[in-house]
A and B are shown apart, each in its own frame.
Chain A
Amino acid sequence: MFKATLKSLLSRKLRLVLSALAVVLGVMFVSGSFVLTDTLQRSFTDLFSSAFANVDVSVTPKAEKGKQPEPLTPQAITDVKSVAGVASAVGDVQGSARPIGKNGKVITTSGSPRFGFNWTGTGQEKIRDGKAPAAENEVAVGGYLASTGGFKVGDDIALLTLEPKKTFKITGVYEYAGGRDSLGGELSVAFTEPVAQQLLLGKKDVFSGITVTAAQGTTDEALRDAVAAKLGSGYDVKTGAVLAKEQADQINEGLKFFNYVLLGFAGIALFVGIFIILNTFSIIVAQRTRELALLRSMGASRGQVIGSVVLEALVIGLIASIVGLGAGIGIGALLAKIFSSVGGTDLQLAGIGVPMSAVISSFAVGMIVTVVAAVMPALRASRIAPVAAMREAATPDRPLTKITITGALVAAAGGTSLAFGFNQASLPLIFGGILVAFVGVALLTPILSKPMVSLIGRLLSWSMPGLLGRRNSARNPRRTAITAAALMVGISLITGVSVVLTSATKSIEKLASGQLQTDLIVSGEGQMEGEAATFKREVLTKIEKTDGVKSAVGWSQDGVLEGENQLFAVGVTDMPALATMFGLKPKSGTIAPLKDDQFALPEEMAAEKGWSVGSKVTLQLAKGEPKTYSVGFIWAKSQVLQGALVMPESASKDFRSDQIAQAFVQVAPGVSAADVQKRVEPLFADNPEITVQDRSAFVKQTTSQFDTVLLMIQILLALAILIAVLGVINTLALSVIERTRELGLLRAIGMRRAQVMRMITVESVVISVFGAVLGLAVGLALGIATVQALKDQGISEIGLPWMTMVQYLVVAAFVGVIAAILPAIRAARLNVLDAIAYE
């Protein structure tokens, strides 16, 4: 039996390749994810251990919860120096410094930090060209900043720090051990110490930390304990090794999430792969009815027949897993390379490694998926009576009642799980619900395929080949349905995401045009990252005085602590004006200027906290002691301003930064916003991180991130669609083999090759478009359900991405044409005589 199976497998190489390909792609994605994240993790670990290579012990001020740490004084350095076993103790100054490129725009990174520090000469930076900064207007820049921004010794460079744009002369370019430009894609610049203190910490003679090295014979741990004992509480004292590990762990935590996302998409790909393998095995088993029945009539037991199909699946799964693992290692290595070079991280890659997790998951996933997909057809194969061998292998259409009822039940279960998931905000329930719903819909597709295929086919069947193609796609509803269902999964996920994003865009647009009464919005980069660029209060005053401005409101922002809870707060310059611009309505109390010990909050937050007007609440701001405030008023639920406490302007001075983060401008009646914008913009000439936008530009900027998200998801889901296309090719190729005699007959009675190809193409397009239509329908349902569930989060409108949906449909038709090429050529090339005689 074993030998017979292997022989049969090897005799059909094409079949082997086609059914294995889907598994290979899925496994490739899984192992690629593991290899990529493993390589990056080890690279980051290496990065931080080299970043802290010459730090034995590090001292930083301890931050009380919710409070900004006070910088270190020179006294602390003197204290550390006095500890026995200390070889050196150097004060570090570090803070945000964003370089401005030669095009006048701030140079950005893809997540790596941009910072400045004090040049001490004791760090690991070594001057490559020029010399260290010595004067107030001199800086040295890192090699990576020099190459990214095109700077060289002698150039001027403008920098944004706590202060607005300042220009310096570059006296030197430094590098790291091994001649590296950067440790990990960071853009850094070195000032003289007093300048660094003023620009980065905002005060003279303070430090952000102390780097301590141990004298010979003192261990890092002993030194740490000695220093900690000397300084007392109020300081974090850590060894360099611990610090490196902490930072690496932090990055790796982020990478883990990245890995989950990739694995999620791998899961989708495999899910689609199951459809394809299931279909392939079903067709193969159907075609092997005679072969299997012959085995049965020669005395093979049912178990042996099942065994032979499962064995075939195991062999395919094994080969596919090996190939997939290999391809995954290649893909992982390639992506890591892209990440480190093109991604702007300048990361020194650790050697590509193949973690055990990649190997185990590849084989587990590849073999299990294949065998699971093969078991059902195997069971069916075993039920074939031996006499079927002697009869024509026309398997009669089995009724679809059972599968339809099962499908309805499964889909309902999925929908219920989805509804609960939304209700409980439980991601596992939501994702589980979506997967189960897909299976349910897939089981329903055979019954749907009859009317829908005939409808879609009618559009394409103006000629006899078209008609035959349409009839062919309708003749085996299960086969057509599963093939289409595989395509449905990818398309419905993309459609669902598009619906949510379009709805979000539409909601924001509606909000902006309806409730938002402001004409210009002034905001800094990095609003989303939480570290927004800010500007000085004087500038706001200047805006107010600008010709044509009716009113201008600004706020500074920070997190405040209420007990253990972190809340987002803004300190507003003019509460009544803000209420007018944002269309805020009082829910209780009256909207009036806030007193110094008052704050206001939205209805839903008040309800959640159980606060009413007059409630006393103790808040800890970044600076100063906790203070008791009372609720001044509560505004009615608003989409424009939610999830934030509004505090009086006086509270801003205890924020981390009391500078203005966002400002809103209303122009006087009859004045054009564009004119005022032209007059306001020059106020930010030395602050390129701040932009002045009119309402529509602001909305566009806010919603443009959705396009990026959509694009990313499209790229990742393209794999699922690619696998589905393989499925279409597979189904067609196997159908062509199955219908060899029919094709021979058609050719014998005079069908031209081109007509044969057209026939196959129509069948392919019908299947693909059917899958796309299903996907669009399911995606719409998923998307609308999600939007409904997110109603409270501010997505109030339902926007349907019609253009995108039409595009998907066109792409699906195109995919159908592409998928048909090879099977069509194969069909057209059939030798007529052989085909007629084909058994």
Chain B
Amino acid sequence: MSASDGVAARAVDVWKSYGSGDAAVTALAGVSVDLEKSRFTAIMGPSGSGKSTLMHCLAGLDDVTSGEVWVGDTLVTGLKDRGLTELRRDKVGFIFQQFNLLPTLTAEENITLPLAIGGKKVDKAWFDVVVDTVGLRDRLTHRPTQLSGGQQQRVACARALVSRPDVVFADEPTGNLDSQSGAEVLGFLQRSAREFGQTIVMVTHDPNAASYADRVIFLKDGHIVRELLSPSAEEVLDTMKHLDSVVAVPHV
């Protein structure tokens, strides 16, 4: 089985538990999901729902207890460190909540870092498009300490996009930003999906952030419990409120 056409990343009956025996904690309990290409998908859920774990497993940052994870045509499950490293370098882009940039490098060097690590040439035209889209043209020679939090996060977005990965994973990308900077970043992610066809998967607990997505998946206790397409912030908030009453399908 492979991720068929139109699917950028796929989880097949993924289980993830930490610890063993009585102390075992199940974070993911048989999650299966297809993440379509060129879509902006948000994964939502309360704390401890397993949304971050799902993202980490999909991105090859964490291994699964059972099940399969695919990114593009690559079966992630079972890859050794070297394979995972190359997957992260070539097929995946990351935007973390904070601490996305190396303080010793300029904005431009940070953006091209994944390419430099892989020894690849920078596609100048694409680089220009990305930089202009995030509006960092006049900040390229600055060090991270000379940039605001929003600017830093936009540099992180540009870095995630510049290598044209199969999927960009964003882990609470606006969690540390004020609302205006957050809106800029989210708007940029939305445009990347719509205009450049970039697949984006974002983990968030902010209904407003989720409302930028084309598709919102709700997780609770390690299960996918709901899904909304292009919802408004109110719809998301409403769903979250009622999530408590939703009873997860008991796992076997």
- By a beta-carbon cutoff of 8 Å, the part of chain A in contact with chain B is 394, 463-465, 467-468, 471-472, 474-475, 741-742, 745-753, 755, 832-833, 836
Contact = CB atoms under 8 A, between A and B. Distances in A.
Given A464-B116, A471-B104, A745-B102, A752 B62 contact: no
Contact of B82 (A464, A467, A752, A836): A752
Nearest to A464: B116
A748 B101 CA distance: 12
Given A464-B113, A471-B105, A751 B85 contact: yes
7 contacts: A468-B104, A745-B101, A746-B113, A748-B88, A749-B88, A749-B159, A753-B81
7 closest A-B pairs by CB? A750-B89, A471-B104, A464-B116, A750-B88, A749-B114, A751-B117, A752-B85
A753 B85 contact: yes
A746 B102 contact: yes
Interface string B65-98: 0000000000000000110011011100110100
Contacts of B94: 748-749
B117 A750 contact: yes
Contacts of A472: 104
B145 A394 contact: yes
Interface of B: 56, 61-62, 81-82, 85-86, 88-90, 93-94, 96, 99-105, 113-114, 116-119, 145, 159
Contacts of B101: 745
Given A468-B102, A745-B102, A750 B62 contact: no
A750 B85 contact: yes
A242 B126 CA distance: 96
A832 B96 contact: no
Given A471-B105, A741-B99, A832-B61, A747 B116 contact: no
A833 B89 contact: no
A550 to B, nearest CB: 74
Contact of B100 (A394, A468, A745): A745
Q: Which of A465, A474, A748 has the most CB of B within 10 A?
A: A748
A26 to B, nearest CB: 34
Contacts of A748: 61, 88, 94, 96
A474 B104 CA distance: 9
Given A750-B85, A753-B81, A832-B61, A745 B114 contact: no
Given A464-B117, A832-B61, A833-B61, A750 B90 contact: yes
Contacts of A464: 113, 116-117, 119
A753 B80 CA distance: 12
A750 B104 contact: no
A749 B56 contact: no
Contacts of A836: 61, 96, 99
B104 to A, nearest CB: 4
Given A468-B102, A742-B102, A833-B56, A749 B61 contact: no
B72 to A, nearest CB: 15
Nearest to A470: B104
Contacts of B99: 741-742, 745, 836
A750 B102 contact: no
A181 B170 CA distance: 83
Contacts of B116: 464, 467
B89 A749 contact: yes
Contacts of A750: 85-86, 88-90, 114, 117-118
Contacts of B81: 753
A791 B96 CA distance: 67
B142 to A, nearest CB: 15
Nearest to B87: A750
Given A747-B85, A752-B82, 19 more contacts: A463-B119, A464-B117, A467-B116, A468-B104, A472-B104, A742-B102, A745-B100, A745-B102, A746-B102, A746-B117, A749-B113, A749-B117, A750-B118, A751-B89, A753-B82, A753-B85, A755-B117, A832-B61, A836-B99
Contacts of B62: 833
B100 A475 contact: no
A753 B56 CA distance: 19
Q: Which of A464, A475, A750 has the most CB of B within 10 A?
A: A750
B220 to A, nearest CB: 22
A765 to B, nearest CB: 17
A475 B104 contact: yes
A742 to B, nearest CB: 6
Nearest to A751: B117
B120 to A, nearest CB: 11
Contacts of A394: 103, 145
B172 to A, nearest CB: 12
A472 B88 CA distance: 23
Contacts of A753: 81-82, 85
A787 to B, nearest CB: 43
A749 B93 CA distance: 7
A467 B61 CA distance: 25
Contacts of A747: 85, 88
A474 B159 CA distance: 24
Nearest to B145: A394
Nearest to B85: A752
Contacts of B96: 745, 748, 836
Nearest to B118: A750
Contacts of B159: 749
A741 B85 CA distance: 17
